[in-house]
Structure 1
């Protein structure tokens, strides 16, 4: 007795073999960003899409351009924002999954006259 295998059966067998040998789905990659600020000059440095927080922060500080630059906020798969108040001369910052969320947090940490002076996001933010 001869057995016949149809094209559909071969295709089904091949797809099963591929499904079994395919690697597991990768978890969502983390991209890091940071914002550095010089409170004496108002200069800002920033970074996004770095593979780790330390690298993102170092790049932000290097890009700031003043001796007193320091990281004020870092984030993973999200956004950061910095606000400034002319009335008090104070800076504030925040981070969130979205640009609007980060800006809202930065503004809520300051006086009512504060405005956003900088924001940036990683490419895979909220």
Structure 2
């Protein structure tokens, strides 16, 4: 019986000793003047995710900026009908969207999400 318990204890310890998952980063860029967005996901660093999001923002006004970056989670950008905008993040899409709408609503009314993205691509 002692051998069985000792074996179970060792197996339990080994089961939790697997490789750690790498952090993944994403970002969303937004142009307040043109409404253009760019995004990225599944990058190994914040800097790389932000660079790609800015590059993907097809913006003729040249004022794309990083609205939100996120690690192992999701981000969202919401805009209001009167020009305000906001962003938010969360561990899932719904929370990121809720945070973005709340941030936008503090500036203006009637906000809607225009872009969301999760760092893993989902």
TM-score bucket (shorter structure) = 0.7 to 0.9
Structure 1 residue aligned with 2:99: 105
Structure of larger gyration radius:
1
Q: Does 1:46 align with 2:39?
A: yes
- Provide TM-score, normalisation by structure 2: 0.78
Q: Does 1:80 align with 2:58?
A: no
2-structure distance, mates of 1:82, 1:36 = 9
Q: Does 1:96 align with 2:93?
A: no
- Provide TM-score, normalisation by structure 1: 0.76
Gaps of 5+ in 1: 1-15
Gaps of 5+ in 2: 1-9
* Alignment size in residue pairs: 104
1:1-126 equivalent positions in 2, closer than 5 A: 24-66=17-59, 67-86=62-81, 88-111=82-105, 112-123=109-120
**Cα pair distance change 1:46/1:124, threshold 3 Å:** closer
Q: Is the 8 A contact 2:41 2:121 kept in 1?
A: no
Instruction: Return the offset for 1:124.
Output: 7.7
**Cα pair distance change 1:45/1:124, threshold 3 Å:** closer
Instruction: Return the offset for 1:25.
Output: 1.9
The CA RMSD over aligned residues, in Å, is 2.1
